Structure 1
Amino acid sequence: MANKVETELTEQLFELLQSERFITLSTVDHETGGPNVSAISWIYAPDTKTIRFAVDNRSRIVTNVGSNPKVVFNLIGAESTYSIAGDASVKVEKMEGVPLKLALMEVSVNEVRDVMFYGSKISVEPKYEKTYDAQAAAKLDKQVMDAMRKA
C-alpha cells in the first residue's frame, strides 16, 4: 500500500481496534513543543472515523491534547505498520464504572498511512502481558473496554 493515504480506518484496521492492543501514541508536548510518545493498550474504534482510548486523567497525554489536539497513533498489525493521524479531545474526564480515575479520549481520524518500509512485512506482531494479578487485570480491562463501548 505504498504511499496510499486513506481518510478513515480500513476495514482491517477497524477490526484490529475492536479489542485492547499495544499501540503507541504521539502528542505534541505542552512544555517543549516537541514530540511525546506513550504506549497505551485501552483503545477502541466505534466506527471508521473515530478512535477512543483511556488513560489516567492526570496523564501528560491529557495535558498535551489540551494544548494541541494533533495526535498520531502508530499501529503494528495486519502485516504492516500504520500511522493514524487525527484530532483528539477529552470526551469524559472520569469514566463511569471504572475503579480508576481514567479519562476517555476521542480522536477524529484525518489520515491513515501505511508507513512500512518498502519490500517488507511484519511477521510477528508486538505482544505484551500484564505483570500484576491476572484476574484483576482481566476484570479492569473488561470494565474499561465496556465503558469505552458505551460512551
Structure 2
Amino acid sequence: MAKVLDRLQQELIDSLQGEKIVSLITTDKDTNKPNLSIVSWLVAHQDGKTIKFALGHNAESAFNIMENSNLILGVYGADSCYSINGKGTVSDVITKSMKYRVVTVAIDSVEDVMFYGGKLTKEPEYVKTYDEELAKKLDSEVYELLK
C-alpha cells in the first residue's frame, strides 16, 4: 500500500507551478455523484498544504465545491500519479479580462496512486487553440491571482 502524506513533497510542489493537466473530482450538487473536470491554471504553494486553481465564474465545479467542499485532484508529476484530497473554498467572482473564481484547496492527504512497478515517463501535454495573445494575457492575469 502506498504511503499517504499530509502535504506535498517539494518535487511535486515544483511540478505544480502552472500549465498542467489536472483532473478535478467534485460531488455534483444535484445528483450527488462524482463529477470530473480538467483544470490547468493551478499553483501549489510552498507550504505544501495549499493549492490554488482558477475556474471560469460559472464553472459547474465551483458550484459543486460551494455545496460540498470535499474534492480530489488527480495529478501527473514527479515521475508518478497522485491523488490529492482536500477541501476547497471558492472566491467571489473576480472580474479581469474574463470572470474567474479562485479555488483554494486545503490539502488533507497526498497519495502516490501509480500501479506497482510503474513510473511516469512523460506527462500529458496540450495546446491552447484560441488566440495566442489572449492566452498570454489570461495566463498572466490568472497566475497573478493564484500566487
Structure 1 CA distance for aligned equivalents of residues 142 and 106 of structure 2: 20
Q: In structure 2, what is the equivalent of residue 147 of structure 1?
A: 145
TM-score normalised according to structure 2 size? 0.94
Aligned to 2:101: 103
**C-alpha displacement of 1:67:** 1.2
Q: How does 1:1-150 map to 2 (within 5 A)?
A: 3-46=2-45, 47-90=47-90, 92-95=91-94, 98-149=96-147
CA distance in 2, matches of 1:71, 1:61: 10
Amino acid at match of 1:15: D
Q: Which SS does the other structure have where 1:145 is aligned?
A: helix
Aligned residues: CA RMSD: 1.2
Which one-letter code corresponds to 2:99 in the other structure? K
* Cα distance between partner residues in 1 of 2:131 and 2:63: 30
Secondary structure at the residue paired with 1:52? Answer: strand
Q: How many residues are matched?
A: 146
Deviations 1:68-127 (A, max 9, x none): 10000000111110000000011x21235x311100110100000000001111111000
Question: Does structure 2 retain, via aligned residues, the 8 Å contact 1:20–1:145?
Answer: no
Q: What is the Cα deviation at residue 54 of structure 1?
A: 0.5
After TM superposition, give the deviation of residue 59 of structure 1 in Å.
0.9
Give TM-score, length-normalised by structure 1: 0.92
Percent of residue pairs bearing the same amino acid type: 38
Secondary structure class of the residue paired with 1:19:
coil
SS in 1 for 2:138: helix
| Counterpart Cα distance in 2 of 1:25 and 1:19 | 15
Q: Give the SS at the match of 1:61.
A: helix
Q: Which amino acid aligns with 2:19?
A: E
